[in-house]
Amino acid sequence: MKLYENVIIGNFLYTLGLNIGINKELPKYSSINLLQQTPADKALGDVLLEFPGVVRLIEFKNKKSNKEKEKTRLKLLEMALSGEDKMIDISRQIHWYIETEPSKDSCFNRIVPYLDAFDNEVHGEDTIEPYIEMIVQEINRPFDNSKHQDIKDYLKLIQMTQGSSSTGTGGLIINITEQGIRYVQITDLLDLRLNLKEFIIKAELDLESIMKLEQKKELKRTITQNYVRDHSREYR
């Protein structure tokens, strides 16, 4: 039985959303970006998740797929991380590898830090459910913001090892307020790595820009309508 990676990813994201939704305290903002088959796939990975204080970059692979390119990517990353203990620690926290092996009865998964992707002695989780629960638990008790810059540096390092200075991909941030859910579009995934204060400032600036643009459009429409009305009277 062939189970495509995008089917696994879709169900993973749906289940993650369900588990987050049943909690009383929803994160004030979140960004869930499926990067598979986008320019950011090569630069970063398949899925990039961000919640207040929680970031996950995940690579999904079918066990039977050709992994030579992935092994090369890992080798380049290992070379870049050589001697960088702090970055290695960050990598093991946020960068993960999920390998699937479907059968008639179940879908076996090997879930390990990305650095252990091809280390056969590291087995990791065998189902996705506990891994999702772990993410939800961390969302409820996020890490210290002192690691925020380290995470930004790590994600930038991954891009550099793949010869990319930009993801070339935009994204969305979901903002949950008392008034409801609001989406904020961003032009580059680099903007996803914002803390809450920075996000609020950026969202307010984006909203202000949109409002100014709409005001200019409305003013232009009014001027045009007045011009047409005044000149139509002249020809009566």
Task: pLDDT tens for the chain, 236 residues: list them.
Answer: 677 788 888 889 999 988 888 876 777 778 888 888 777 777 788 898 888 778 899 999 888 888 888 899 899 999 999 988 999 999 999 999 998 877 666 667 889 999 999 988 887 777 888 889 888 888 877 666 567 788 888 888 888 887 665 555 666 667 666 666 776 666 666 555 555 556 556 666 666 666 667 776 777 777 777 655 665 655 55
Asked if residue 184 and residue 92 are part of one domain, the reply reads yes
Asked if residue 128 and residue 76 are part of one domain, the reply reads yes
Asked if residue 218 and residue 112 are part of one domain, the reply reads no
Asked if residue 172 and residue 205 are part of one domain, the reply reads no
Asked if residue 190 and residue 156 are part of one domain, the reply reads yes
Asked if residue 188 and residue 211 are part of one domain, the reply reads no
Long-range contacts of 111-118 (CB under 8 A, 24+ apart): 114/57, 114/59, 114/74, 114/77, 115/74, 115/77, 115/78, 115/81, 115/88, 115/91, 117/59, 117/70, 117/74, 118/67, 118/71, 118/74
Asked if residue 206 and residue 187 are part of one domain, the reply reads no
**Number of domains into which the chain is organized:** 2
Asked if residue 219 and residue 172 are part of one domain, the reply reads no
Query: C-alpha distances in angstroms, 166 versus 56, 115, 158, 159?
Result: 19, 23, 11, 7
Q: Kindly give the pairing relationship between strand 54-62 and strand 95-102.
A: parallel
Asked if residue 209 and residue 140 are part of one domain, the reply reads no
Asked if residue 54 and residue 76 are part of one domain, the reply reads yes
Domain residues for the domain of 210 are 195-236
Asked if residue 136 and residue 82 are part of one domain, the reply reads yes
Asked if residue 188 and residue 212 are part of one domain, the reply reads no
